[in-house]
Amino acid sequence: MKACGLIVEYNPFHNGHLHHIKEAKESSGADCMIAVMSGSFLQRGEPAIIDKFHRTQIALQSGVDIVLELPYPYAVQSSDNFAAGSVHTLHEIGVSSINFGSESGDISHFITSYNTFKEKETVYKQQLESQLDQGVSFPEASRFAYQQIGLTNGTMDLAKPNNILGFSYVKTILENNLPIEPLTIERTNSGYHDQTITSSIASATSIRKALLENAAITSKIAESIPTETYRQLEQYKSEATTWHTWEKYFPLVHYRVMTMTLKELSAINGVDEGLEYRIKKTAKEATSFTAWIEAIKTKRYTWTRLQRMFVHILTNTTKTDMKDMLASSSVPYIRLLGLNQTGRSYINQIRKQLDVPIIGKLSRNIHPMSAIEEKVSNAYYSILPPRPKNQLRKQEIQPPIQI
Amino acid sequence: MKACGLIVEYNPFHNGHLHHIKEAKESSGADCMIAVMSGSFLQRGEPAIIDKFHRTQIALQSGVDIVLELPYPYAVQSSDNFAAGSVHTLHEIGVSSINFGSESGDISHFITSYNTFKEKETVYKQQLESQLDQGVSFPEASRFAYQQIGLTNGTMDLAKPNNILGFSYVKTILENNLPIEPLTIERTNSGYHDQTITSSIASATSIRKALLENAAITSKIAESIPTETYRQLEQYKSEATTWHTWEKYFPLVHYRVMTMTLKELSAINGVDEGLEYRIKKTAKEATSFTAWIEAIKTKRYTWTRLQRMFVHILTNTTKTDMKDMLASSSVPYIRLLGLNQTGRSYINQIRKQLDVPIIGKLSRNIHPMSAIEEKVSNAYYSILPPRPKNQLRKQEIQPPIQI
């Protein structure tokens, strides 16, 4: 059986994602579609609007055969680490291709850019360092450095954040000589970061925004998502009493910071360069999560970077935890979130060839990373009413969803 | 000027307390009444129903001239440490007597008991150890040991918890040869731990219970408290939107436990003898604070001990913190919560003779203990709406209340 990999967050799953799965399946000629998905917290340092099990359910109803969890230390990360974790996970499960959405929809643009990048990598690195030294944020410094080596114009503009991820996937594959064919299809939704829903193919950002602004799922939202997403969003909200947003976590993360010592705070991953003083100082006046980040933000610390740091504070993930987890060159295990009959056949077929174990039910004793993963999940569900009132909190230790 | 000390919690201040102040002033012939009061969290491991500043305000309107804060490491403690911290604080500020309420109202009973205790201390200690070794809780083991040396009958029954505190005050004074006269007056309220209000002199327990069971302050409650208590309770609730109860802290302390490692949990003060496993295990099913303690409780771990432990978890107070703070033989500073004109005159008069500094406005840099005190206060106010909506959170760093 031939497998094609997708790297996803599905926050939430929309019509554009449905289109992507269909196209990717067709162009790859794969028998089995495997998605590696961020779990509770996402690449940009935000809680997923509904939990990973409900998002898995949607994916399985929409053409994905196997859903794997992208481990926390790779998920809440900048594009390089995010890409490394995703691509390595898909490599371990044996995909022969990876398909991602892009603006150009032409993989040769990414490969050409990668070759240029390799040629001029020294210049890139010098420019990057010098910008960082001047206190510029990483994304901006990186954009500037790409510009200096001619990668911000023409067919493949690396100044655009949505191209960076695709570029990082291709880079991971080529640099590690992985036997994976990179593929891309053109994004059908107008803008990756569109703020409003303008058609039935809308961005996840605009759908989330509409969901949170409206008490119910409006007809406009409903038109941009498959029925299964509608169903799971509704069901989750009725069980959980809420969708997950940063503001819901504000009382918890604020309490946490207010009872930490400066030393404890500085041990948390992402709290670098004396940021602990700034966090503590601004905490006293913070009235909301948004206002708090606004108060901390500087030229060097972008919103996304600060959000990621707050995820690590919330989940109590230290620099040591992160270092230990990222120490190995690949992922320590593959965690199954869900699969269907095709997925089961595929796994039965390749199980013996795997270099790393497949984990169904998570237990903290499997690996240091699984203990962290359990804490992360606990933090994610902390805003929900306590069990047994709310069974959702129990989900982390459930076996994979099978349909 | 002559000063008389009181050891109080005022949770909340009631008619019995008013009576105590009047009697203590009269019997001591003091010019200045000084109360040392537990701050945010109390001896039995509970949050104070309203904050220390509002309780200070009431005390100052009711005959107390100076209110000092009993530091956290002494306040949330068993009777021995609680008594040591209170008596030493009052000694440092120069009181010549300490007056406490008791059932017998006769100080000679306490002194006789102390003499008996000193005579038979070896037997007491042996009996205590042997009970503890059998897994009996400390209060029960201690009661049994007192019984063995004949201190649980007659005029001074040390099996009664309300006698234990008085006995501990007297013991601290006599063992340290402090130049303080211990005095006692007979308690006028029927029972220290009465659950219901039966007269205008009611127990704090029954008043708290009635307050929390009723949305408003009923006329029955109003009859058992001075007008100033009524006023401050009302005002606090309107500002804070709530009174403080353990259940309000449940989401925070539960979140905290769910994101701690076993190692981190076992570093917290009071988490002894592998209790961390029990706390973690029961956390998964806990639906309320009360249910959680019920699930952890054993013969050895009493409700009060577990409540104190949870205060330390909530405030992130480690064994090391506690050891560092309790290392000195006396208190490192005296913290003023409030004073009136008489109090100011008294302090001006004795200031130069003090062995330890008097602190008005708290700053974390004064002493390791003040940093802990700030964290504790932050934890206490964490259940309130964020500033600037709620100015109460700012109180910890305010100067003493002056009337």
Domain boundaries, chain A: 3-103+166-172+182-189+331-402, 246-323
Q: With a cut of 90, say whether residue A325 has pLDDT above it.
A: no
Cβ-defined contact of A255 to B316 (cutoff 8 Å) = no
Model confidence band, residue B227 (pLDDT cutoffs 50, 70, 90): very high
d(CA B90, CA B2): 13
pLDDT of residue A294: 96
Residues of A in contact with B255 (CB under 8 A): 252, 255, 378-379, 382
Q: Do B252 and A250 touch (CB under 8 A)?
A: no
- In this predicted structure, the answer to whether residue A111 has a pLDDT above a threshold of 90 is yes
pLDDT in tens, B95-131: 999 999 988 889 999 999 999 999 999 999 999 999 9
Cβ–Cβ gap A286/B386 under 8 Å: yes
Could you check whether the bond before residue B332 is cis, i.e. omega within 30 degrees of 0? no
Q: What is the pLDDT of residue B189?
A: 62
In whole angstroms, give the CA distance from residue A329 to residue A400: 26
> Which among A12, A49, A8, A43 has a CA at the least distance from the CA of A305?
A43
**To probe the interface with B, which of A258, A276, A391 has the most B CB atoms within 10 Å?**
A258
A268: exposed, middle or buried (Cβ count in 10 Å: 0-12, 13-18, 19+): buried
A258 to chain B, any CB pair closer than 8 A? The answer is yes
Protein fold of A3-103+166-172+182-189+331-402: Rossmann fold (3.40.50)
The mean-pLDDT minimum among A28-37, A53-62, B38-47, B104-113 falls in B104-113
User: By C-alpha distance, which of A337, A324, A308 is closest to A60?
Assistant: A337
pLDDT of residue A127: 92
The answer, yes or no, to whether residue A365 has pLDDT greater than 80, is no
Kindly list the residues from chain B whose CB atom is less than 8 angstroms away from the CB atom of residue A375: 258-261
**Shortest distance, CA B72 to any CA of chain A (angstroms):** 14
Give the distance from residue B300's alpha carbon to the nearest chain A alpha carbon, in angstroms.
Answer: 27
Whether the pLDDT of residue B363 is over 90: the answer is no
B384 touches chain A (CB under 8 A): no
pTM as predicted: 0.93
Q: How confident is the model at residue A394 (pLDDT cuts 50, 70, 90)?
A: low
Mutation pick from B253, B256, B258, B281 vs chain A, by most beta carbons of A within 10 Å, is: B258
| Mean pLDDT value across chain A | 90
Whether A254 and B288 lie within 8 Å, measured CB to CB:
no
At B371, give phi and psi (nearest 5°).
Answer: -65, -40
Which of B241, B255, B384 to mutate: most A Cβ within 10 Å?
B255
Please determine, for residue A242, whether its predicted confidence score (pLDDT) is greater than 70: yes
* Mean pLDDT estimate for chain B: 90
pLDDT at B393: 65
Mean pLDDT confidence for B71-77: 94
- Select from A37, A184, A9 the least CA-distant residue to A98: A184
Q: What confidence category does residue A193 fall into, taking pLDDT thresholds of 50, 70 and 90? A: low
Amino acid symbol at A336? L
Q: How many CA atoms lie within 13 A of B348 on its CB side?
A: 7
**What CATH fold (topology level) applies to the domain B3-103+166-176+178-192+328-402?**
Rossmann fold (3.40.50)
Answer whether B388 touches A (CB < 8 Å): yes
SS3 B4: strand
pLDDT at site A390: 59
